[in-house]
């Protein structure tokens, strides 16, 4: 899609979907130093691009069905044998995890986990992310890859499943509750909280 086509989009949710993916890709590239590889100056602070990404993701989440649909599509990006592409994919997936953590789609997420035949794949993915040992991340500079954020965000998502009624959502919630008290998660949470203050809403209430 070129810029001319983008300007023709009138549906606000569709436009936010496109822009959230676009800004996720830009932010991923900045994280991976793509500007330096092209001899372009690196901005002093590219946190703004992630902020814009999240604003568009929040717009998408106002439509619960579209929010969970895009979230699942992003975290479902297939593995690439190309190392650089896979690094990009891992950053792209963080936007999917961000979407699945929004309060606006919590009810839709619980419904998906409890009723959709494809939900087992998501349950397995979230449990796998939560189980990653991130004790090697000992300072904020270690968060140069999405592993730490993805693991903490998976715990955050599953802490939001407290109101789930079936065993799938309750098992994820109980696992998240236990995992949130582990030293490596507590440490990573401490490093992330200055920029991700929304984490408090579940980590400090559960």
- Segment 71-90, tens digit of pLDDT: 999 999 999 999 989 999 99
Looking at residue 5, its pLDDT comes to 64
Is the C-alpha dihedral spanning 97, 98, 102, 104 positive or negative?
negative
Greatest extent of the chain over all pairs of C-alpha atoms, in Å: 54
Handedness of CA 89, 28, 153, 73 (dihedral sign): negative
Let me know: does 179 contact 155? Beta carbons within 8 Å. Answer: yes
The span from the CA of 137 to the CA of 129, in Å, is 15
Q: Tell me the mean pLDDT in the region 47-53.
A: 82
Per domain, the residue ranges of the chain are: 1-100, 105-206
Residue 40: band (very low, low, confident or very high) from pLDDT cuts 50, 70, 90: very low
Give the pLDDT mean for 31-37.
70
Question: How far from 59 is each of 19, 67, 75, 95, CA to CA, in Å?
Answer: 10, 9, 18, 13
Identify the pLDDT of residue 31: 83
The per-residue pLDDT for range 104-138, each reduced to its tens digit, is 999 999 999 999 998 999 999 999 999 999 999 99
Work out the pLDDT band at 44, boundaries 50, 70, 90: very low
Instruction: State how far the Cα of 47 lies from the Cα of 45, in Å rounded to an integer.
Output: 6
pLDDT value at residue 41:
43
In the predicted structure, residue 142 carries a pLDDT above the cut 50: yes
Q: If you average pLDDT over every residue of the chain, what do you get?
A: 88
Query: Please, which pLDDT band fits residue 6 given cuts at 50, 70 and 90?
Result: low
Q: Which long-range contacts (CB under 8 A, 24 or more apart) does 191-199 make?
A: 191/137, 191/139, 191/140, 191/142, 191/143, 191/148, 192/143, 192/148, 192/149, 192/152, 195/47, 196/149, 198/101, 199/152, 199/156
CA–CA distance, 24 with 73 (Å, rounded to integer): 13
Q: pLDDT grade, residue 2 (50/70/90)?
A: low
């Amino acid at each position: 899609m070129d810029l001319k086509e983008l300007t023709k989009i009138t549906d606000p949710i569709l436009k936010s979907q496109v822009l959230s993916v676009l800004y996720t890709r830009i932010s991923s590239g900045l994280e991976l130093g793509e500007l330096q590889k092209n001899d372009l100056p690196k901005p002093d602070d590219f946190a703004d691009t992630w902020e814009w990404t999240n604003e568009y993701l929040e717009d998408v989440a106002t439509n619960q069905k579209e929010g969970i649909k895009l979230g699942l599509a992003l975290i479902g990006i297939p593995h690439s044998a190309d190392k650089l592409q896979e690094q990009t994919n891992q950053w792209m997936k963080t936007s999917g995890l961000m979407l699945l953590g929004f309060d606006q789609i919590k009810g839709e997420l619980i419904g998906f986990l409890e009723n959709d035949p494809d939900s087992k794949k998501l349950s397995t993915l979230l449990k796998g992310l939560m189980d990653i040992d991130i004790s090697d991340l000992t300072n904020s500079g270690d968060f140069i890859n999405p592993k730490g954020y993805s693991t903490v965000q998976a715990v955050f998502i599953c802490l939001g499943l407290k109101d789930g009624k079936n065993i799938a959502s309750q098992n994820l919630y109980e696992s998240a509750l236990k995992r949130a008290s582990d030293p490596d998660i507590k440490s990573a949470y401490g490093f992330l909280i200055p920029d991700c203050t929304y984490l408090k809403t579940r980590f400090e209430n559960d």
